[in-house]
Structures are given as C-alpha cells and as structure tokens.
Amino acid sequence: YGNFRQIHKNKNYSEMLREWTKEFGKTYGYFEGHLPVIVTSDLEFIQEVFIKQSTNFSARKKANLNRKENDPSSNLFTSTKSRWKRMRMIMNPTFSSAKLRELGPILVNCADRLIDVLNKEGDAEINVSQYFKRFTMDSIWNCAFGVDINMQYEKENLYFKKCEEIFLRTLELSFVEILGVLFHEFKELILEYLIIIMSILAKFIDPKKLIPFIWLNEKVQEIVEIREKDKSIKRKDYIQLLIDSRLEDCSIDLFENKKFLSSLEIKANLILFMLAGYETTSTALSYSSHVLATHPDEQLRLHDEISSVFGNDLSLINSDSVQELKYLDWFVKEVLRYYPIGNSVVARRCTKKTTIKGIDIPVDTPIAVDVMSIHFDADLWGPQDPNEFYPPRHEVKRNPLAFMAFGNGPRNCIGMKFALIELKIALVKLIMSYEILPAANKSKELQYEEGVVRFPKNGVKIFLKKRIQ
C-alpha cells in the first residue's frame, strides 16, 4: 500500500499532507502502492507545474480506478492533451458572464425555495447541511438540464438519494479500488472489466436498485434523448450547448481539436457537472453558515452591506448585483481559504518527462498540492494571523497561487464563476431572512472527514431566527 492505507484510514488527507510538510519540508514524496507521488507547497514549483510547464502536466492525477485516455466516455476532468482542449473550448461559453446572467433568475428562484423550505421549520435549531445539498442539486438540475425534479420540497426524492449515495461511496474503498492502488499500471483495465460486468448485471436488476452511478447515467441519457428528439425545446442551458456541438459518433476523431462532442462525451460531461457542483458548493455554504453563527460581527457587517445596496427590495438580487458586494466577496474567499474543500483534486500528472528545481519527474508521476499549508502560510497571508478568520486580508493583492480553492492555470475549475454566484445569491437570501445563531451546546470547532471533498463530519448545526422585515 505504501502510504496509501495511512492516508485513507486517517480520512483527512489535507491534514496528513500538512503534517508531513511540517516534517519533511515544502516538497517531498510518498507512495500510493508502488506509485511515487510528489507533494509540494512551494509556489515556484507549483508555477512550473500549473502554468509555465502546463503542457508537460496536461493531465489530472489518476483516480484509484481510471478510464483509458481513448475511452469514448471520458469527460473534461479525465481527458488529456488535445482532447481536453477541444472539450474546454466548447464548454467555456457556458460559464461566461453573459451566460451566467441568463442563469441568474434560476439561481435566485432556487434560493427562494431554500428560504421557503427553511421557513417551514420556523425558528429552529437545524442541521443546515442537508438543506444546502438539496439547494445546490436543485440549482444544477435546473441550470444544466432545464429539469425541475422538486429536489428541495420532496423529502424522499430519488434523484437526491442516488446522488448522495454516490458521494458517500467516495469515502470507502471498494475491493476493486484497492486493486487499482496496488496495481496502478492496470487500473484502466480493471475499470474496463468492472464496467462490462456492471452493464451485464444491469439488464437483470430493477433500475432503482442499480449502483447509483449507473442509475444516474441512465437518467441523464433519458434527458439527453428527450432533448435531441424534441427540437421545439430550445433552452439556453448547459445541455443545449453540448447537444448543439454534437457530431455523429462515426465521424469524430476523439483527439482532433474541432468544436464537436460525441454523444458519450455529452453524457459524461453532464454527469461531471452535476457531481462536481453538488457537494463542493453545498459544503462551502455549510462552512459559511458555521462562520456566520460563530462570528456575529461578520454577520452584522454583511447584513449592513447587503441592506445598504438592496434595502428591503430583495427583487434586486441577481447575478450582477451580488458582485457589487465587496465585503461579501472577501467573506466568501476567506471561507474558501480557511476551509478549502476539493484539496485532493488540486493535482496534476506529468505527461512529458521534465525537471523542476533539480527534481527529475518521469511521465505519469502525480504532483499533489498541499493546499492547507499554502492557505495557512503566514508569509503568504500575513500580516494578520492566517489562523484567524479575517475577510479584509483579501483586499490586498496576493500571489494568485496562494489561493488554490479552484486550482490554477489552464485546467482550473471551469465552474468557478457559477459556483461563486450561486454561493453569493444563497448567502444574501439567507442573511437577509435570518439571524444565524450557534446551536445550543455546540462546539465552535468542527470535525472533518475527507474523500474527494473535505466536509464537516456531522454537518453544521445552527439556530435560525427569522428577521422582522
């Protein structure tokens, strides 16, 4: 196993790297099985990997099980080189300022539903994390697919349950994933055989009892087929953009740099958008609510700023107007600095042998970034103590590589702008509707757990007290 068992057993990957950095310095290595992984918090090293030599690191770190590079179902996250460039070029317009302006009313509507659902609880102590999960999934389905599946109001919603099951499975290693770690040279082959076996079993099993990912895959396929058949449905959403770029599968070269996607790539990227935007944004909202409850001065300052811009007219809230809230912007960035979320995916894989700062890096070597050490480095985030939550530190111009919440370089998170607007709209609605107070007998310190995402282990409990409008 190398050091892999140690990391997985701990279930706090980020803190483990941070401890190793204290012991071994800014750049060192560990083993996943017999695969060496380089870890760094050296910004000069990171600049080489993520920016200056990004063409030599044009792939993500492989998962425990990984698709082949020429797999027809690869998505933006798993694809490499020219295939990744083609996909990114097609998808970039979805996240432009103009497109986000169109999606703004949908996000506002989803945030209004969140407040409506919370209002039904009355003045109450709640674990707010589950509500945020339903809100983010509701936003994704409406914005990406143009489909309203009643995610927030329906307690036993099957779509929500399946997505939650997929997330929970990332916390535990299956037997085949262990094989992928032990025999990393064969992880693509192992996954290929697993998919074949699951596809065969799916023919004999009730669809609702399928492995959640396969169930979700089928549902997305159904939505794509409906949209392709009914030409009268022409919404300006993510799925339409991808369908419009579709080319008949028989005529596409996966590695040609042309503005076309295959039908399998469309489905793969829709699922990626759904899963990547679900737990990350909801976790950021959970952390934000914890800060608001434990830092009443921050909550008051945000409430004052929002009131000064909107007054009592919350109809003015949209994707543009929330960008005018300077302190809210600092607050969100400070939440993401203090509670970084997707740390395990801030990594690259060497695709062409190279040397950085005297270290020879062979092809296929992963480079993982120790995000926590960077985000709490006093030299990067001073003079205010980085262990203190202090939004105004973002007023000062910093080294852009000191903030790794969305990665960096050409392969940074494509949905960053969408996530930030979604976060800000939800927070504005929440702060203007409620006074957010600490739960009774609740410690200020959160307990963490980490799979793909670093999240509060038991959710976040707060007391919501309705504001008198």
Cα dist. 401→21, 313, 394 in Å? 18, 38, 14
Residue 250: predicted pLDDT = 44
Cα dist. 370→292, 351, 405 in Å? 27, 21, 12
How does DSSP classify residue 116?
H
CATH number for the domain that contains residue 411: 1.10.630.10
Query: Strands, E, within 54-203: which ranges?
Result: 124-127
> Is residue 413 marked as binding?
yes
CA nearest to 349, candidates 41, 75, 49: 49
- Rounded CA separation 409/399 (Å): 13
- Rounded CA separation 388/394 (Å): 13
Q: Return contacts of 360-363, CB within 8 angstroms, 24+ apart.
A: 361/38
Burial readout 176-206 (b: 16 or more C-beta within 10 A, e: otherwise): ebbbbbbebeebbebbeebeeeeeeebeeee
The pair of three-digit structure tokens given for residue 382, joined into one six-digit string = 């001073």
Burial class (CB in 10 A: 0-12, 13-18, 19+), 102: middle
CB within 8 Å of 195: residues ≥ 6 apart: none
Torsion angle, CA of 112/242/415/71, rounded to 10 degrees?
130
State which residues form the domain around 272.
Answer: 4-466
CA nearest to 418, candidates 284, 255, 307, 315: 284
- Rounded CA separation 209/214 (Å): 10
Residue 96: predicted pLDDT = 86
Residue 354: predicted pLDDT = 97
Domain count along the chain: 1
Mean pLDDT of each 10-residue bin along the chain, 469 residues long: 65 90 96 88 98 94 63 84 88 86 92 96 90 95 88 90 79 56 58 64 62 81 83 74 65 58 87 88 97 97 96 86 96 98 94 96 96 98 97 97 96 94 97 94 82 91 89
